[in-house]
Every structure is written in C-alpha cells, then in structure tokens.
Amino acid sequence: MNISIVNRTNCLIIVSLIIFNTMYSQWTQSTYISAFGVPTTTNFYTCVPDGRGWVAVGGDNGVIINSTSTGIGLDNTNCIPTRTIAFIDNLNGVGYSNDNMTSTSNGGDSWNHLVNIEVGGSGINDVEFVSQTGYACGNSGGIRKYISTGSYPTWLDWTVQTSGVSVNLSAIDVVSTTQAYIVGINGTLLRTMDGTNWTSLSSGTTTNLKDISFKDATHGIALGESGTILMTTNGGDNWTILPHYSILNFNSVKYLSNGSIWIVGQNGLILKSLDDGNSWGSQVSGTTANLNSICVLNGTGYIAGDAATFLYSSANGGTITPVTAISTGISELESSFVSVYPNPSSGIFHVQNGTTNLAQNCRIDVYNMLGDKVLEQINNTEINLSNYGKGQYTLRIQDDLHVFFQRVILE
C-alpha cells in the first residue's frame, strides 16, 4: 500500500482509560477504503493474509476487499456480514457468516456466494486452516473439520465433530493439523490434541472469551470482555488470569513467534507486549471505533474495525507507552463472587456480597462504554444511575483486599 505512515511516540495513557488523539496516531487508515466507496457505516469484522502476501478484509453487506485488487467484492444477494475469512493455500479461500459461505479460487480478486449445506445448522463464527486441514467453530457448540480430498478445494469436505458443549463458540486457533483451541462464552475453552476429540479446559473465568492465539505448541493467550486476559505456558493445561490493564472489551489477539503480542478492542484500544505478556504498553490507533480483528504479515500489522476502519502500520505500530495494571497487589476475583441486582435496571442497582465478604472501605467506580468514569462512591453499595443514558456500564468494585468487575444494563 502506497500510504505514508504516521509514527509518533508522545501518546498518553492513564489507568483504566486510554485517551485517543488522531494527531499522535501510530497507525494509518488505508486509502483503499474510501477509494472503493465503502460507506462509513460499514463495519469490518475480519482481516487475514490472503495467501499471496496480501490482506483480505470482510465486513457488512457481504463486503470483501483484497489489498491487491482494483475493485471491491459485494455480495448483494446475501447482504450478510462476512464474519471470518481463511485461506487454505495461495489462491483458495472461504468466508463465512452464519450458514452462508463465499469462496475464491483466485487469491481473493473475486468471490462466489453459495449456501454451504455441509456446514449449515449451527452457524460459523471462525475458521482456520493449517496445510490442507481446517477447523470451524460456531453457535450451539458447533465444530467442523475439513480435510481436502481433491487437487483443489470443493469446500464440501466438512465433517461434524462433537464439542461436548452447547454454548456459542467465538474463535479458533489451529496450531497443527491435530492441535487446535476454541474459546466461547462463559469462559469456555476447548482443546483437541488428536484432531478428533475435544476436551474442556478450566479457564478460571466465566467472562465471555472472544479470541485465542498460540505462538507455538505450548504458549498461548486468550482474551475477552472487560479486559480479561488468560495465558498458558503448558499447552492449555493451566491458565493464568492476568491483572486487568483495561476495563474495555478485547476482541482480537495475535501472539507472534518472537514473543510479541498485539491486542485490539473496544473504542480503538490497542495494547502490545514485547515480552510474552510480562509487561504491556499502549499504542494510539487514531480512532474511537471498535477494533475487531488484527493480523500481522511480514512485520506489518493490519487492523479491521467498525465504521469502515482498516488500519495498518509497517513500523509495528511505533513505540509503546507502558500501561500499569488497574490494581497492583490486590487480588482480582471473578464477578461471580458478588451479585448486582436487579440487572437490567431502570436506575437503581444493589451490590450484594457473594461467597467472599467485601471488606471495609468499599469503593465503586462506574464506567460507560467509552471507558469514561461517570460515578464513584465510597461505602455505599446502592448505585443510582437514573440520571444517566441507557446502555451498558461496567462496575469496578474494590475494597482493601479485592477487585471485582461487573457489567450492568441501564434500561
């Protein structure tokens, strides 16, 4: 892409809240998007290498853009968002949205829509291939496996696998033809080590998980809503919940073989670690749009997000500004230890002790979806949001010993 890179180092981050300023953006919005006439109301949900050293981006209304193409692929008969794209080789790839599939045989320059009966029934949320083997995951615990049986893919060689769960599955990471991992809602973590049988892993959280990425067969990271990050160093046998570096939702992660990790999420959030997750820093995206997917190709990062956002940086996003954990030296407990009721509510919420008692000096901070703190109070477990706008809020509940996070809905 012939686009200049803006690379500034003087970005600012404070605990729990990232301040965005386009002046200091370390990422550049691709001019392909406006050149193709993509409406700014279009949300992009996925970006992946297309097999030829370029990037394919998928989004609303069946939009698929390939970075080498001079045109734009629009599926006007489908008009269903392209949620995931994967390439099995340099030329052949597929894109899914629920039970609808589109495929390409020329590296992404053109796409053909069809309804894939073989994978229908549960909906597909993510798909990934290694060599000629692929796995897909979807709603209601749906898992499919693909092994190509011909000289070129027909996309009919999918077989149903048993997940052992009935919840919606969000994302998959395929390490090898036999080793793969899946995450889903309510902290669901699944693994196969033989390419056939799937087992549930203990994640230690009930938070909805959105993405997972492994740098090798043993080191992996999973993430999800409300700033949740999990890491494993033994192939998923055990997971460590990291301290919260943000209260915003994380959507996508990429764990590179050199130990670098990129995370993108809500409200233009970009976090990066250079040391296998031991420390973290922020980068300025230059946008407040939700960022939904990140991929890395030959040292260049690409990010797809809402509002026709497609960012890239050939300088690894520039420098990073260190981020301090929201609470240091205080144990962070899952939200199941406290209950907030009624939820949803028309204005008044009550915080009640769970199996662990709240100590004295209880403080409650309330954040809106943009990460702005809208309310704080001490030693008062009744929260009144009657004068605030309807929507979702995050409660950060802290006493002398613990920190809890809870999401509430104001109707």
pTM of the model: 0.76
Alpha carbon of residue 286 to chain centroid: 19
Instruction: For the chain, give the percent of residues with pLDDT over 70.
Output: 82
Over range 373-391, report the average pLDDT.
88
Q: How far apart, in whole angstroms, are the C-alpha atoms of residue 117 and residue 405?
A: 41
Residue 215 is inside which H or E element, if any?
Answer: none
Cα–Cα distances in Å, from 365 out to 265, 362, 377, 397, 407?
Answer: 21, 10, 7, 7, 12
For residues 309-316, give the mean pLDDT: 88
Q: What tokens does 129 get?
A: 């291939």
In this structure, which amino acid lies at residue 398?
Q
The position carrying tokens 């995370």 is: 263
| Residue 76 vs residue 111, higher pLDDT | 111
DSSP 8-state assignment for residue 43: P
- Measure the CA–CA gap between 365 and 201, rounded to whole angstroms: 32
> What is the per-residue pLDDT across 131-189, written as a single tens digit (0 to 9) for each?
889 999 999 999 999 998 877 888 888 899 999 999 999 999 999 999 999 999 989 99
The structural domains of the chain, ordered by start, are 18-322 (2.130.10.10), 331-410 (2.60.40.3080)
| Among 91, 70, 90, 74, residue whose Cα is nearest residue 82 | 74
Quick one: average pLDDT of 7-31? 44
Rg from Cα positions in the chain: 21
| 220-230 pLDDT per residue, tens | 999 998 889 99
Confidence of residue 399 (pLDDT cuts 50, 70, 90): low
**Angle (nearest 5°) at CA 237 between 126 and 205:** 65
